[in-house]
Amino acid sequence: SAHRIDVVSIFPGFFDVLEVSLLGRARVAGLLDVRVHDLRDWTTDRHRTVDDTPYGGGAGMVMKAEPWAQAIDAIAEDAASEPVIIFPSPAGERFTQATARELSEEPHLVFACGRYEGIDERVYTHAASRGRVRAISLGDYVLNGGEVAAMAMIEAVGRLIPGVVGNPASLVEESHEDGLLEYPSYTKPAVWRGLEVPPVLLSGNHGAIAAWRREQQVQRTRERRPDLLPD
């Protein structure tokens, strides 16, 4: 059955692009069931208020607990199993390909997109009674809200769901799947504007090609991402 992803945001229109491209096709094919919700639908006041000033003072606003609790309750009560509830946050654990793989094995994900100043901390406690909570960061930089981060995570997770990417072999030979960056790729013509394709790739020697690619992966990783290599 379809993997379900609920997204809660004050900018639901941001996720309209999920209709197109690979993930759009996966939705049409019944592999992905993505439901985007407006957090303000769970407010009750005339101004549809979702934030307020922080206790203790400080800059920025904090998202109020009640609309989030109502949203999480409604989604959890409508679900067949306990979801994984993800709060995109620069204060979360780092998102990696391993995280994407883990999440792709979950039948139901909820992305709770807050603004970066934060959500009332009690929302996390409440969410933990409705699902398995994870605060996840895309990287060590600050975005204005969780939406762009959620979109990146949805794409990384979605393409690992069986059937979403047409050729599963294309998933195994890419950056980060084996802990190294991917090797360089070339296509025709063999000489283009005076630049040649490495001759080994035209040799037909599959052993030599595999060895060259592995060497390129290690060299590239040493140059660009030494942090990925063991000391």
Q: Is 6 helix (H, G, I), strand (E, B) or coil?
A: strand
Give CA–CA dist 146/9, Å, rounded.
Answer: 8
> Is 140 known as a binding-site position?
yes
Q: Among 12, 24, 90, 107, which residue interacts with ligand ADE (rule: CB under 6 A)? A: 90
> Is 138 known as a binding-site position?
yes
Sign of the torsion angle spanned by Cα atoms 125, 126, 131, 136: negative
Q: Among 67, 88, 131, 158, which residue interacts with ligand ADE (rule: CB under 6 A)? A: 88
Give residues 160-219 in contact with ligand ADE (rule: CB under 6 A): none
Residue 115 Cβ vs ligand ADE, minimum distance, rounded to whole Å: 8
Question: Taking Cα atoms as reference points, which of 32, 176, 179 lies closest to residue 104?
Answer: 32
Binding of ligand ADE at residue 116 (CB under 6 A)?
A: yes
> Is 141 known as a binding-site position?
yes
Residue 1 Cβ vs ligand ADE, minimum distance, rounded to whole Å: 29
Task: Find the part of the chain contacting ligand ADE (CB under 6 A) among 69-77, 121-129, 138-146, 187-195.
Answer: 138-146
Give CA–CA dist 72/70, Å, rounded.
Answer: 6
Residue 192 Cβ vs ligand ADE, minimum distance, rounded to whole Å: 38
CB atoms closer than 10 angstroms to residue 82: 13
- CA 184 vs CA 16, 54, 173: distances in Å: 33, 50, 11
Binding of ligand ADE at residue 139 (CB under 6 A)?
A: yes
> Is 120 known as a binding-site position?
no
